[in-house]
Amino acid sequence: MGQIGLSLIVPLVAAAAVGAGLFGIVAILSPRTFRSIATFARRGIDTGRWLAWLDKSVDVDKFILRHARVFGLVTLAGILFAVWLIL
């Protein structure tokens, strides 16, 4: 990967880390707000009959919403680990 690829990937990784960090902080501080965001963001994608085997509903929301603070802490720990690896 050349210099242009690196110059594109670093800001994208940084933006993803910031976004994930914000979700982690919301999950820790306000599980109710996190639940409403998760409910709003839940969207189904119709993949058609060609990819019907992929069109299965996996309900991880019950587990994550019940353990929002733990999810937030794990998310932040993962971000810190990723930043530590990059630096």
pLDDT in tens, 19-38: 888 888 988 998 899 888 88
- What CA–CA distance (Å, rounded) separates 72 from 26? 7
Q: What are phi and psi of 73, to 5 degrees?
A: -65, -40
Report domain extents, the chain: 23-34+57-87
Q: Which of 39, 27, 33, 18 is nearest to 74 (CA)?
A: 27
pLDDT in tens, 45-77: 566 666 776 667 767 777 788 888 998 899 899
Q: Which of 35, 43, 19, 36 is nearest to 69 (CA)?
A: 35
CB atoms within 10 A of CB 83: 13
